[in-house]
Chains A and B, each alone.
Chain A
């Protein structure tokens, strides 16, 4: 018999700002995936909110494209606030 589909689990902790990937789980549907994720990944107060998403629905960047994708940001120093000079007399900026 075929294995149940794989779901990726994301949990936002009580004081967390965003959902964080914590692992994956097998389940027949979303409801079962949530229930299993609750039992497996939040036994010790880890979370306040759970997202599950079918693994096959996730598209990820390829390690080979890392340079093309991320390198150009390095020469755009003007994107950072520290690039700009502010006179010493101007405070709180």
Chain B
């Protein structure tokens, strides 16, 4: 889900015979579940795929602070406000862990941030949707962070060591986010008629975008196969999406809410929930920059960066002065 529009540079997976000596040694290591570390040799395409995937994951954490940050000053109780603050703080931390992991691949955070601001890099499509009510904060925690957990647990076994280790830390914290989101939904759905209506409305608006977070269907995802061969990905988009649906639908029913999908039903034969058709044209619109909040999100990031330039310069100048003083002393 963080590999949206990440081009691995391959049109198909190469067979063993087509690999060079070094590539074969590398593939053997991956096959044997030996973690790849920063100083190990790796194919350029593996490196580039990872840089893009990890950086887009990092960008998602940073941009993801905006839709929830929107409700900090309006949280309905002090308890809810404290929790939301802690959560947004976690997301900043996740962004930093991930930028660090990306930097072990030989890029700088600075250039990645520039690429985000210039629109050369993406972030998760989900953060281009607006948070219109307090219930959206609950729906984001439950559904969006829930989808993130589903996606990130297999990433804890990703072949690239620094990414896998970052994911272990992130998953622990993400689980707090998901639970607190569900608690908000639970409270609203057990509340008065208006609160229940709010919870249902939030579920109606966030359900499909959450399912889109897992990316295009397997049939349209040529890069999935290569990423799986490299064990960057462990499961296909559709597999993870199905896992998320199966886990989440009963949670929604427990709340007494309905899902905005008339075709959603339990399939006795497969042991999974069947769902209706996902609107992929909406997905591609959002990924390509034309979702409800794409422009607003990037503008907010750029403004923060540009308006903060003098503060960063001041900090750097102060550090330099201190360094010179120490040298003289």
Contact = CB atoms under 8 A, between A and B. Distances in A.
Contact of A43 (B37, B90, B103, B166): B90
Nearest to B165: A23
Contacts of B319: 28-29, 32
A44 B172 CA distance: 11
Interface in A57-76: 60, 62-63
B109 A43 contact: no
A1 to B, nearest CB: 6
B187 to A, nearest CB: 24
A52 interface: no
B322 A29 contact: yes
A24 B316 contact: no
Contacts of A48: none
A43 B40 contact: no
Contact of B93 (A4, A43, A62): A43
Interface stretch (B141-149, B265-273, B286-294, B307-315): B307-315
Interface in B253-303: none
A37 to B, nearest CB: 10
B96 interface: yes
A41 B169 CA distance: 9
A2 interface: yes
A3 B110 CA distance: 6
B39 interface: yes
Contacts of B313: 1
B251 interface: no
A25 B100 contact: yes
B89 interface: yes
Given A23-B166, A28-B318, A2 B93 contact: no
Contacts, number: 51
Contacts of B318: 28
A19 interface: no
Contacts of A34: none
Contacts of A12: none
B312 A6 contact: no
B323 interface: yes
A27 to B, nearest CB: 9
Given A3-B108, A25-B100, A62-B39, A40 B315 contact: no
B2 interface: no
B30 to A, nearest CB: 15
Given A4-B312, A23-B97, A25-B96, A63 B37 contact: yes
Nearest to A3: B110
Given A24-B103, A28-B315, A29-B319, A43 B89 contact: yes
Given A23-B97, A32-B315, 20 more contacts: A1-B312, A1-B316, A3-B109, A3-B110, A4-B312, A4-B316, A6-B103, A24-B100, A24-B103, A28-B315, A28-B319, A32-B319, A39-B93, A40-B93, A40-B96, A41-B93, A43-B86, A44-B173, A60-B39, A63-B37
The 9 closest A-B CB pairs, nearest first, are A3-B110, A28-B319, A29-B319, A24-B100, A28-B315, A40-B93, A63-B40, A23-B100, A63-B39
13 contacts: A1-B312, A2-B316, A3-B108, A23-B166, A29-B319, A32-B319, A40-B92, A40-B93, A43-B90, A44-B173, A63-B37, A63-B40, A63-B41
